[in-house]
Amino acid sequence: MILKKIREQKITPIPRWRFVALHVLLFIALVVSIALGAMAFGLILRTIGDVDWEIVGRAGKGPVRGFFLILPYIWFAFLGVVLYLSEKLFSITKTGYRYKSYMFVLLSIALSLIIGSILYFAGAAHFVENKLADSVRPYAKWLEKNEQMLVAPDEGTLAGMIISVNKEKELMIVDFMQHKWIVDISNAIYKKDFKPQVGRPVGAIGEKTGENTFRADKIMPWRPNNPPPIFKDMQIPPPLPLPPLPLKTDGTLPMD
């Protein structure tokens, strides 16, 4: 009776190539999901890897709070979604069901960590982030907001771009909120081989001394290996007029 129905309805076996194509697609989807997980991890490293933790601690009013302030939750959420999808994809492969879910998830996390780290150190994460910022405006805004969180002059932190240098005694910087500052660096400790140079991103720890003045105790390059996309959009405004140098008691200028 079954054969009769097969003949009547002209049922034929599905061609083998369709099953092969399906399995290949599934495999590709699985590899892509693992690659996306690795990229997400690379972007997480990009956000937390190059930052000065002293600034983060000061801006966040404590190291722990600062750490949670800077975490890129969006990429953690993306990583979670991708891990979930890759686990589901793995479970429907021919032999995937034979393994417990947690084993595959652990393996995926390990792969994301290893490949993500390679992508970060190779500069690929930075490249991807810049491309994303260029093409997805809300993402660029989110990145800006993240950098702006570390600008807390009242807490003693400042970050921005150098717009002028005055004999290694003062810098003028424009911060990520486009405010201009005169930063006294005459007694600052230079961290990480910092060299004051116009156009360089810079971070400073110290004390706000006025409406647009800041005394730096420590000064360092800001994300020296992977400057955030926000710097590309920053215009170097004309510097503020420098205050006159105080005259010596004999009426001559200090440099005379």
Partner 1 sequence: MVDYKTKTDAELVALTLNDQEVFLYLVNRYEAKLLRYIRRITSLSMECSEDILQEVFIKIYRNLNDFDQGLSFSSWVYRITHNEALNHLKKANNQKTVSLETDDKDTLSLIDVLQAETNIPKELDKKELQRKVRKIVSMLSPDFREILILRYLEEKDYKEISDILKKPMGTVATLVNRAKAQFKQIAEKNNLIYLPS
> What is the smallest separation between the CB atom of 37 and partner 1, expressed in angstroms?
22
100 binds partner 1 (CB under 8 A): yes
Q: Which of 8, 14, 167, 195 binds partner 1 (CB under 8 A)?
A: 14
121 binds partner 1 (CB under 8 A): no
8 binds partner 1 (CB under 8 A): no
12 binds partner 1 (CB under 8 A): yes
> What is the smallest separation between the CB atom of 19 and partner 1, expressed in angstroms?
4
What is the torsion angle, in degrees rounded to the nearest 10, for the CA atoms of residue 53, residue 56, residue 61 and residue 63? -40
Residue 91 vs 186, nearer CB to partner 1: 91
> What is the smallest separation between the CB atom of 16 and partner 1, expressed in angstroms?
4
Residue 22 vs 236, nearer CB to partner 1: 22
Please state, as a whole number, how many other Cβ atoms lie within 10 Å of the Cβ of residue 153. 21
Pairwise CA distance, residues 108 & 156, whole Å: 41
Pairwise CA distance, residues 172 & 166, whole Å: 8
User: Which listed range, 1-9, 115-123, 222-230, 234-242, lies at the site for partner 1 (CB under 8 A)?
Assistant: 1-9
Q: Which of 27, 76, 97, 121 binds partner 1 (CB under 8 A)?
A: 97
Nearest C-alpha neighbor of 202 from the set 229, 234, 227: 227
User: To which H or E segment does residue 86 belong?
Assistant: helix 73-91
10 binds partner 1 (CB under 8 A): no
76 binds partner 1 (CB under 8 A): no
Pairwise CA distance, residues 116 & 113, whole Å: 5
Q: What is the per-residue DSSP string for 113-171? A: HHHHHHHHHTTHHHHHHHHHHHH-HHHHHHHHHHHHTT-BGGGTEEEEEEEEEETTTEE
> What is the smallest separation between the CB atom of 27 and partner 1, expressed in angstroms?
15
99 binds partner 1 (CB under 8 A): yes
* Positions in the binding site for partner 1 (CB under 8 A): 1-3, 5-7, 11-16, 18-19, 91, 94-95, 97-100
